[in-house]
Amino acid sequence: MRGRDVILGILNLSPKTGYEINDVLKNQLSFFYDGTYGMIYPTLRKLEAEEMIEKKQVIQNGKPNKNVYSITDAGKEEFEKYMASDVVPESIKSDFLLRLYFGGDNLSNDQIVELFSHEIERKRTQLEFIQKNYQHWKEKGMQDLQEVTLEYGISYYENAIKFLEDKMNKFLK
């Protein structure tokens, strides 16, 4: 999945500012899509040049004007092509797992437990973030399948934490 497909998908739901697109990326999509703030505006400019989206400037009193982006018919057509394309298999990129894989002769039990502990804490933080915001996002209006993605994330983190805690116990003395 390309950044342009994600942005078209976000705008296919409703018009948004760049700030609002970033909010969706870093909050609702962050556990399964690694989008960055730095890719948003170059992608928006390119999509606008290709007439996939259009920009409307909203004049605000006492605040800077804001640009609101919306998807065009051409953008909807491209997004529909993405949605109809084959799903790319998932790939997991994990520095934690690489360190475990190569750690056999290089890490003491204390270092292994510390590695597990830090990863469990990172996953707990992500889980708490999703759980804390889930109801708020629902109240703002989510489609059923959007809720499924958040519930998937909750399940993923709960199971990963349980698995890591079980495996870490093997190294505790």
Structure pTM? 0.78
pLDDT one-digit tens code per residue, 26-75: 888 887 888 777 889 999 999 999 999 999 999 999 988 999 999 999 99
- Give dist(CA 102, CA 58) in Å, integer: 54
What is residue 10's predicted lDDT score, i.e. its pLDDT? 94
Q: What's the pLDDT tens digit per position in 121-173? A: 999 999 999 998 888 888 888 889 989 999 999 999 999 999 999 999 988 86
Give the chain's mean pLDDT: 92
Crossing angle for the helix pair 109-141 and 95-102, nearest 10 degrees?
160
Does residue 117 contact residue 168 with C-beta atoms inside 8 Å?
Answer: yes
56: left (phi over 0), alpha (psi -120 to 50) or beta: beta
Distance CA 143, CA 35 (A): 21
Domains in the chain: boundaries: 3-84, 95-169
What kind of architecture, by CATH, is found in domain 3-84? Answer: Orthogonal Bundle (1.10)
Query: What secondary structure does DSSP assign to 46-99, as a single string?
Result: HHHHTTSEEEEEE--TTS--EEEEEE-HHHHHHHHHHHHSPPPPP----HHHHH
Q: What is the DSSP letter of 24?
A: I
